[in-house]
Amino acid sequence: MISPIIVRPEAEEDIKDAFLWYESQSPGLGTEFFRCIDASFSLISRNPELFAKIYQQIRRVLVRRFPYGIFCIFENTNIIILAVMHISRHPRRWQNRS
C-alpha cells in the first residue's frame, strides 16, 4: 500500500535551500540531490515502517549520496515530512518541528 506524503512548508524550504546550495557548487548537482530526495520519498511511501524511530514518533530516512536525513512521522494513513536536514545539524532543529 502506498501512503500519501505531505511535505510541511519548512521541509520544502529545507529542500529548496539544499538544492540551491548544491546547484551553486556544481551545475546539475542540485538536480541530482532533488532526484535522490524524490527516490527517498517513494521508498518512504511504499515502506513507511521500514525506518526506525529515532525520537518519540519521528523516523529518519538517510538520503542516498548526500549527507541529509528526511525526518517524518506517520499520522493515520499519511506520512508527514517534518524536515530535510544535513545530518550534522543539531537535533533540536528538527525536534522542534514535531
* Average confidence (pLDDT) over 51-80: 94
Q: How many domains does the chain have?
A: 1
Long-range contacts of 57-61 (CB under 8 A, 24+ apart): 57/98, 58/82, 58/94, 58/95, 58/98
Whether 1 shows a pLDDT value over 90: the answer reads no
- Report pLDDT for 91: 65
pLDDT category at 98 given cuts 50, 70, 90 is low
- Report pLDDT for 94: 60
CATH number, position 73:
3.30.2310.20
Whether 44 shows a pLDDT value over 90: the answer reads yes
Helix (H/G/I), strand (E/B), else coil: 61: strand
The three three-digit cell numbers of residue 47, written as one number: 515502506
Instruction: Write out the residue range of the structural domain in which residue 75 sits.
Output: 5-95
* Average confidence (pLDDT) over 78-98: 80
